Amino acid sequence: MSIHNDDEVVDAELVEDGELLPAISSRNRKLNPETAQALKEAAEEGSAPRRTAMNGFEKWCAEQNLPAIPCDTFTYTEYGHHLIKKGLKVSTIKNYMSLIRTSMPPGQQPDSSLYLLLLRQYRKKNKRALRRKEAFPITLPYLVPMMEKAEADGRPIGWRDAAMLAFGYRFLGRSIEDVTLDIEDLTITDTKVFVWLAEDKTHKNEEQTLVLHDRPDLQLVFRLRRWLDYLAEQGITCGPLFREVLRSGKVASQETRAMKTRKREPEHVDYLRPQTVNERVKKWFSAAGLVTDGRPVSSHSLRAGGATDLGENEATDEELETAGRWAKGSRIPRERYVRPAKDAARDIFNKVPVHTPPVD
């Protein structure tokens, strides 16, 4: 594939995850290794879901002795049927198959019509495959005992988790946003926390400064300051906001983290994984003796809890969108968090008088 400019030809070559990486070839020029590596990293930025989809596909292809890149329509359809037989959700299958198809070289993408025919049949026969697993909303009555339990024994890891829980709820963030924040991104006053974001899922290449007002039940300022003071005592005043804490009470060194997370890039080693937030939320929910209504608890429960609390207390659609940084006009906050909570609290049979047996 060639892209013609006024005085040069740019030939596109595939990088590891199937994306295109340009290599300048006019006048016999080649990119120096540092520039080429920087371009490759830029092409791979945010490609974790694609890599996950392709890893599974490539492993299956190896087992079937079939080529993964490029794959033909036969292979693509067979893999789609393989995912269907595993009983995955329809949305998950569609996402994986789309990522695999777009990872193929230009002009060599398989025909998706046959796999989609199978998927339509799967939808009809398996209604549960359409069901979304909504996170249980951790509203303040659940959040406060979780934070108190986390910090009850005075351990640094509990201080971190209490700060992480308070911040996650008030920030209304996605776990990936929480764990990629740096200390320098926060400015803390006695009553507010200012958070600078270079971008988020909805606002690409659009920086924002969010103002998080503190409140007595959340104690966001106190809990963040206690955690940051602990980091400062160990000489840490910049870099990742939330870090791994060892059993000794010390923050894990970069060397220790590198040994545990060998697959991560050096610049990402000190940051917690979103999965760690997930695990800690589940831990303190259980430790506080709390129970759900059947929906699963996850790190997303903090975002769901904040949105639910706002919606149940008459926040407008616009206020909800702004607080959670959803796209303007998004139906997600109302339909996924607010309406289900209000519907569950309302019992139409309250309109029916309670039956009282006649007295003889």
Q: With a cut of 70, list the residues of the chain below it in pLDDT.
A: 1-30, 36-48, 127-133, 257-268
Domain identity same for 40 and 153: no
Domain identity same for 212 and 288: yes
Determine the structural domain holding residue 20 and report its residue range: 2-44
For residue 50, is it within any domain? no
> What was the pLDDT predicted at 294?
86
If we measure between CA atoms, which residue out of 284, 279, 272, 324 comes closest to residue 298? 279
> What was the pLDDT predicted at 306?
94
> What was the pLDDT predicted at 60?
96
- Where helices occur in the chain by DSSP H, the ranges are 33-44, 48-64, 73-85, 90-102, 113-125, 140-150, 156-171, 175-179, 220-233, 254-260, 274-287, 300-312, 317-324, 332, 339-345
For residue 358, is it within any domain? no
Question: pTM above 0.75?
Answer: no
> What was the pLDDT predicted at 340?
73
The sheet carrying 208-213 orders its strands as 186-188, 192-197, 208-213
> What was the pLDDT predicted at 39?
62
> What was the pLDDT predicted at 7?
35
For residue 84, is it within any domain? yes
For residue 268, is it within any domain? yes
Q: Which two tokens stand for residue 250?
A: 């010390």
CA distance 44 to 298: 27
Please count the other Cβ atoms lying within 10 Å of the Cβ belonging to residue 183. 17
For residue 49, is it within any domain? no
Domain identity same for 32 and 74: no
CA distance 204 to 207: 8
> What was the pLDDT predicted at 25?
45
Q: How many domains does the chain have?
A: 3
For residue 238, is it within any domain? yes
Examine the fold and report which residue of 130, 153, 168 is the final residue of a domain before the chain moves on.
Answer: 130
